[in-house]
Homo-oligomer: A and B are copies of this chain.
Amino acid sequence: VVRRTKGFSWGAAGVSTALFTGVVMAEILKKAKPKRGARYVCMEGADKLPNGYYGTSVKLNWVMDPNRGMMLAHGMNGEPLTPDHGFPLRAVIPGQIGGRSVKWFKRIIVTAEPSDNWYHIYDNRVLPTTVSPEESANDPKWWIDERYAIYDLSTNSAIAYPAHEEQLGLVGAPEKYRVKGYAYGGGGRRVTRVEVTLDKGKTWRLANIDYAEDRYREAGPRQLCGGTLDMEWRESSFCWCFWNIDIPVPEVSQAGDICVRAMDESINVQPRDMYWS
């Protein structure tokens, strides 16, 4: 632990993948004809929380960009949304932090300023490391600075195998052990390389990457899960890619730890040191 924060940790499970069916949000907003000066799309859910209904906003420009795939969904993996997933209607904001994907969708408002909903301001922000929990608790200026809101996620990767508590018998073991995991670019950016180290970053090994999402692109347009799925034209990558690398068992057995880092198509690489807030 670097420092106890006022927030919480998602661990390595902050992103999931599903096939949603619904309407592209841009099509709805085109009909609304936003005026000059419109910059944000505010959304509100029907879930009343201690500080009012849940609400947040995203950039209008992003909503209008077809590559960002933002939608209002009524189905998930071919079935109507369940209550847990936002029945009857929810926003799906791919590549961004989950808090922007408003469930139990109730209202949409185009504005010049970001949402002033309590949860937009006090949830899903990463304040600068320089700001102590006490300082941020006492001074709202840190929270209303829109620069510290999380929208697009950053490059991330995780190791799935070896799993927790996994044991590898060395007697009669195969020559190589396959280290495996997933990686994610954020903001629709493709992960372009995944590297693994057994010596704390002194040397790196290049992993293989399987972009499972591309198989939907290659399949061409089709009816699937109650909607038309056509990703062939879309360049953005919103799903995990899966990486693997075979490492000789003697090297695995002697390694103190195995670390992974990913780089996205903007040459942004995961840093060695944690950015905490």
Write the residues of chain A forming the contact surface with B, with a CB cutoff of 8 angstroms.
Answer: 36-37, 39, 59, 61-62, 65, 67, 126, 128-131, 147-148, 150-155, 186-187, 189-190, 192-193, 195, 201, 204-206, 232-235, 263-273, 275
State whether A265 touches B235 (Cβ < 8 A).
no
- Residues from chain B with a CB closer than 8 A to the CB of A192 are 147-148
Identify A67's interface contact among B61, B150, B204, CB under 8 A: B61
Closest-by-CB residue of B relative to A34 is B233
Does the CB pair A266–B36 fall under 8 Å?
no
Closest chain B CB from A212 CB (angstroms): 16
Q: Which of B153, B190, B269 contacts A266 (CB 8 A)?
A: B153
Decide: B269 and A186 in contact? CB cutoff 8 A.
no
Which chain B positions have C-beta within 8 A of A129?
A: 195, 204
Given A186-B266, A271-B269: A59 and B235 within 8 A (CB)?
yes
B130 x A195 contact (CB < 8 A):
yes
Contact B148 A268 (CB under 8 A): no
Interface pair B154/A234, CB less than 8 Å apart: no
In the complex the two chains form, is B186's CB within 8 Å of A36's CB? no
Query: How far is it, in angstroms, between the C-alpha of A130 and the C-alpha of B266 when the chains are bound?
Result: 19
Q: Report yes or no: B36 in contact with A233, Cβ–Cβ below 8 A.
A: yes
Known: A36-B233, A266-B154, A268-B154. A130 touches B204 (CB 8 A): yes
Nearest chain B residue, comparing its CB with the CB of A234: B61
Given A61-B67, A153-B266, A265-B152, check contact A193 B235 (CB 8 Å). Answer: no
Q: Which residue among A128, A154, A201, A267 has the maximum number of chain B CB atoms within 10 Å of its CB?
A: A267
A265 touches B36 (CB 8 A): no
Contact B268–A205 (Cβ < 8 Å): no
Q: How far is the CA of A192 from the CA of B129 in the complex (A)?
A: 13
- List 26 interface pairs A-B (beta carbons < 8 Å), by A numbering: A36-B232, A39-B235, A65-B65, A65-B67, A128-B193, A128-B195, A128-B206, A130-B206, A131-B206, A147-B193, A147-B265, A150-B267, A151-B266, A152-B265, A153-B266, A153-B267, A154-B267, A154-B268, A154-B269, A187-B266, A264-B268, A266-B268, A269-B271, A270-B271, A271-B271, A272-B272
Point out which of A150, A193, A272 has the most chain B C-beta atoms below 10 A from its C-beta. Answer: A193
Taking the closest CB of chain B, its distance from the CB of A275, in whole angstroms, is 5
Chain B residues positioned under 8 Å from A266 (CB to CB)? 151-154, 186-187, 189, 268
Contact A205 B130, beta carbon cutoff 8 Å: yes
Minimum distance in angstroms from A98 CB to a CB of chain B: 14
Write the nearest CB–CB distance from A276 to chain B, whole angstroms: 11
Least CB distance, A58 to chain B, in whole angstroms:
11
Q: Across the interface, which residues of B come within 8 angstroms of A268, CB to CB?
A: 154-155, 186, 264, 266, 268
